[in-house]
A and B are shown apart, each in its own frame.
Chain A
Amino acid sequence: MGLGGRHLALLAGLAGFAAPAPLQAQELEVAVKAAYLPKFAPFVDWPAHAPQDGPVMICIVGQDRFGSLIDQAVHGQALGPRPLAVKRMIKIDAAAGCHIAYLGGSRQQSAAEALAALRGAPVLTVTDQAVGDTRGMIHFVRLRNRVRFHINNAAAQANGVRLSSKLLALALSV
């Protein structure tokens, strides 16, 4: 670890800071989560009664922390022939037509209530430690400054959602 290296790193950081209106640092955490969401799709097998036509829907339920980040992350992504698309909603239920649902929670429907409303539905539920302690099939946590996730495979199986072993291997716990 040379002093020179650290010095240059500091200068490089300052160059970044000099950019107009730097965004708050935790934006990166949010951006990483946004990048994760479409990347889960290839590792998920939805049951036959999940919506089979049209795009694979990623739903942002309740409070939207992502803004345009999720649109950028999903833009141009596809699962085989089906494009991925983003939908935002205040509340969710089994009939909302979602494949992946990030439960951001809101006054109208907390993440726990959203999870309860999706019981038995073929939807990959994603919750976030930054939102609260409610845990869906995938639960984002921050560990050693990295965004990682836990998987509740029993909950996924109960809803007919099959997760590939590669995804399970990446989880902190299954």
Chain B
Amino acid sequence: MRLYFRGLCVVLGGTAALLGGDARAETLRLAGGADLNALTLEELANVEVTSVSRRPEQLAQAASSIFVISGEDIRRHGARSLTEALRLAPNLEVAQIDALDYSITARGFAGFESANKLLVLIDGRSVYSPLFSGVDWDQHQVLLDDIERIEVVSGPGGAVWGANAVNGVVNVRSRRAHDTQGLLVSAAAGAVDSDLHVRYGGRLGESGAYRAYAMAFERGDLRTADGAKAKDGWTGAQGGFRADWDKGASLFTLQGDVRDGDIDNSLGAPGRLRGGNVLGRWTRQWPAGGVLELQAYYDRSDRTARLVSDQLETADVSLQHTFAATGRHNLVWGAGVRRTRDDFALIDGTRLLDPGRKTITIGSIFVQDQIAVRDDLTLTLGLKAEDNSYTQLELMPSARAAWRLTERHMLWAAASRAIRNPSRIERDFSIPGLVEPHRFEVEKLTAFEAGYRGRPTASSTLSVSLFYNDYDGIRTNNLTPPGVLPIFVGNSLKGATYGAEIWGDLDVAPWWRLSASYVTLEKDFKLKPGAIDISGFEAVGADPDSWAKLRSQFRLAPNVDLDIHLRRYAEIPRLSAEGYVGADAYVEADIRLAWRPRENLELAVAGINLLNDQHPEASEARRSEIPRSGYISLRWTR
């Protein structure tokens, strides 16, 4: 301990002294060792506690493949959008398709239309689209400076998550208003993307706090294969607020956003992305233990893009009740109802869905018991029942076991079942005489997982997850036997995916952390006997069989950070489906250097995708290629 402190204090104090540093750091250096305890309260408040992210203890115990992107990781990485921040998660496969669209998946099924098995929550609000079960990532901008953390689970989300948590869950949590007080100005000027974010936070009486923000951004043109501008750039603006009241036993949160985006050219026609949401959450803790959480939100989006006009309204109410622990049992139950109303047509007015407008209700109820079988062995049994307007009641059971070998090592295993509800397009796409609607049913997954998580040494962490996913009823476009019209959207694929997700980090020195990850993915799908498919297995997606990420975070001086990110994606094979051309393997690097001349001011310069003039990431033939770029940025608070 003593030697470690001395090393760190030499870095802190020595650097400060050499740079003409201040007396505080000098004191630290002279104090050295455990004499940290000789500091005053004010001095303690100024001790820099290294560059590393915190690791919430409770997540380290989770019996699933979970990776947490801390707010600090995002700020050091320098991502300017949620999608770019998600590149930090080893267990996500992130491919940018064009300036508007991304394919983001866990455990395969990459592609704009096939990436439909992920549940994405932003402060408790589900943002996957019931139109196609994917995520319109362009609609979901967040002020990254105010993000507390992003939890990324690969694998079925377990009983507690909402619909669509089949292959993974992305849970974005913003900081409480109490923790985002004062003025923040964050701006970046870049070769492709530029933006300006402003936020102000203040107090609301004795127990409340609020923040309000505004942002404007430009997503610049990417490139065509021959290096010309793809003319796919767009601009947007967004504003919002969050208010929290902390009354001790009760917490109340109210938040909302409004947004507007303009696309000059979306597949040949202009597009517009408008929308907004408001959410309220009340959490009550009882003296005897136990927590009740009640949440409601309303979300509206008006979207014209890709030659499609789509209006969607969502209203959602949910309740979650955690009982006080009794004996060896920790019981949680919850229920929720979500109602969506949509209106979908091509921009020329053609209606392709039958009916063109529809209201869908999804109701679900879950119960989960975490049982301490022994002090070192925890069993979590969950069951969720879900009912929606399309299909009958579906049951999703899961069993998870966590075995703590020692304080530092944990083994876990899980078996679970998850289903994906039909999307509007899958269920209701209709062209009389040509495409017959209403045939598609749920896709089913039975997943088996096992893993290790722990700290092999005092300065390192390691997580290894193995998975075998058995799917049934994956989407196909079928001809009616013996091979005639009409076509219908069916569930005729079955098969499996399997692979490993490995990541870890190593604190090489107090000022240097290395993080590395490697993921493999194998897929094996077959058409069910008797089915005639013309989709060419499009719904299975086009995935690389491995990807690796390497991150190096250096604190060169107390006020200078250097972050280097490398990633390699293996080749994406060409699908037999029309419109998917595959992609070559690629390696890319991002480097960011940040300097804080004062505590409340950070200046940074970043190079993005430095290794290639331009590279494609997605398999879609309509894709753009991503050019080398960079930005300079400023972050100022007071």
A39 at the interface (CB under 8 A from B): yes
Encode B509-536 as 1/0 by CB contact (under 8 A) with A: 1111100000000000000000000000
Q: Is the CB of B19 within 8 A of A28?
A: no
B315 at the interface (CB under 8 A from A): no
Complex Cα gap A16–B459 (Å): 14
Q: Is the CB of A173 within 8 A of B57?
A: no
Complex Cα gap A152–B50 (Å): 27
Q: Which B residues touch A135, using CB under 8 A?
A: 246
B557 at the interface (CB under 8 A from A): yes
B578 at the interface (CB under 8 A from A): no
Encode A6-27 as 1/0 by CB contact (under 8 A) with B: 1011101111110111111111
With known contacts A9-B556, A72-B34, A152-B248, A23–B1 Cβ distance under 8 A: yes
A47 at the interface (CB under 8 A from B): no
B203 at the interface (CB under 8 A from A): yes
B15 at the interface (CB under 8 A from A): yes
Q: Is the CB of A35 within 8 A of B36?
A: yes
The residue of chain B having its C-beta at the shortest distance from the C-beta of A131 within the complex is B57
A83 at the interface (CB under 8 A from B): no
Complex Cα gap A25–B291 (Å): 34
The residue of chain B having its C-beta at the shortest distance from the C-beta of A23 within the complex is B4
Determine the interface band of chain B, counting residues with CB < 8 A from chain A: 35 or more
Q: Is the CB of A170 within 8 A of B325?
A: no
Complex Cα gap A20–B42 (Å): 31
Q: Is the CB of B181 within 8 A of A172?
A: yes
Q: Which B residues touch A147, using CB under 8 A?
A: 44-45, 47, 49
Q: Which residue of the partner chain, among B72, B557, B595, contacts A9 with CB atoms under 8 Å?
A: B557
Q: Is the CB of A1 within 8 A of B289?
A: no
- From A25, A34, A73, A150, name the one whose CB has the most chain B CB atoms within 10 angstroms: A25
Complex Cα gap A10–B291 (Å): 48
Determine the interface band of chain A, counting residues with CB < 8 A from chain B: 35 or more
Q: Which residue of the partner chain, among B288, B372, B459, contacts A107 with CB atoms under 8 Å?
A: B372
Q: Which B residues touch A10, using CB under 8 A?
A: 511, 556
- Distance from B17 Cβ to chain A, minimum over Cβ atoms (Å): 9
Q: Is the CB of B509 within 8 A of A17?
A: yes
- From B57, B203, B291, B513, name the one whose CB has the most chain A CB atoms within 10 angstroms: B57
The residue of chain B having its C-beta at the shortest distance from the C-beta of A130 within the complex is B54
B388 at the interface (CB under 8 A from A): no
Complex Cα gap A151–B440 (Å): 55
A89 at the interface (CB under 8 A from B): no
Q: Is the CB of B8 within 8 A of A16?
A: yes
With known contacts A26-B52, A170-B41, A117–B287 Cβ distance under 8 A: yes
Complex Cα gap A132–B287 (Å): 17
Encode B281-302 as 1/0 by CB contact (under 8 A) with A: 0000111110100000000000
The residue of chain A having its C-beta at the shortest distance from the C-beta of B11 within the complex is A13
Interface residues of A in 133-153 (CB under 8 A from B): 133-135, 141-148, 150, 152
Q: Which B residues touch A29, using CB under 8 A?
A: 49-50, 54
B307 at the interface (CB under 8 A from A): no
Q: Which B residues touch A155, using CB under 8 A?
A: 248
Q: Which A residues touch B203, using CB under 8 A?
A: 173
Q: Which B residues touch A116, using CB under 8 A?
A: 249, 285-289
Q: Which A residues touch B179, using CB under 8 A?
A: 141, 143, 150, 172
B6 at the interface (CB under 8 A from A): yes
B612 at the interface (CB under 8 A from A): no
A31 at the interface (CB under 8 A from B): yes
Q: Is the CB of B459 within 8 A of A15?
A: no
- Distance from A137 Cβ to chain B, minimum over Cβ atoms (Å): 10
Q: Is the CB of A13 within 8 A of B19?
A: no
- Distance from B79 Cβ to chain A, minimum over Cβ atoms (Å): 18
Q: Is the CB of A26 within 8 A of B54?
A: yes
Complex Cα gap A127–B203 (Å): 21
- From B36, B181, B206, B508, name the one whose CB has the most chain A CB atoms within 10 angstroms: B36
Q: Which A residues touch B52, using CB under 8 A?
A: 25-26
Q: Is the CB of B1 within 8 A of A27?
A: yes
Q: Is the CB of B4 within 8 A of A9?
A: no
- Distance from B20 Cβ to chain A, minimum over Cβ atoms (Å): 9
Q: Is the CB of A17 within 8 A of B289?
A: no
B599 at the interface (CB under 8 A from A): yes
Complex Cα gap A93–B203 (Å): 32
A167 at the interface (CB under 8 A from B): yes
Q: Is the CB of A32 within 8 A of B1?
A: no
Interface residues of B in 438-464 (CB under 8 A from A): 455, 458-459
Q: Which B residues touch A146, using CB under 8 A?
A: 45-49
Q: Which B residues touch A63, using CB under 8 A?
A: 57
Q: Is the CB of A9 within 8 A of B44?
A: no
Complex Cα gap A133–B244 (Å): 13
Complex Cα gap A132–B55 (Å): 11
The residue of chain A having its C-beta at the shortest distance from the C-beta of B328 within the complex is A107
Complex Cα gap A9–B10 (Å): 8
Q: A15-B10, A22-B459 are in contact. List 19 more A-B contacts (CB 8 A).
A: A2-B19, A12-B14, A16-B6, A16-B8, A22-B7, A23-B4, A23-B458, A26-B49, A26-B55, A28-B47, A28-B510, A31-B36, A35-B37, A116-B289, A129-B54, A130-B56, A131-B57, A147-B45, A155-B248
Q: What 7 A-B pairs are tightest by C-beta distance, nearest first? A: A16-B7, A19-B3, A116-B287, A9-B15, A113-B289, A29-B49, A17-B509
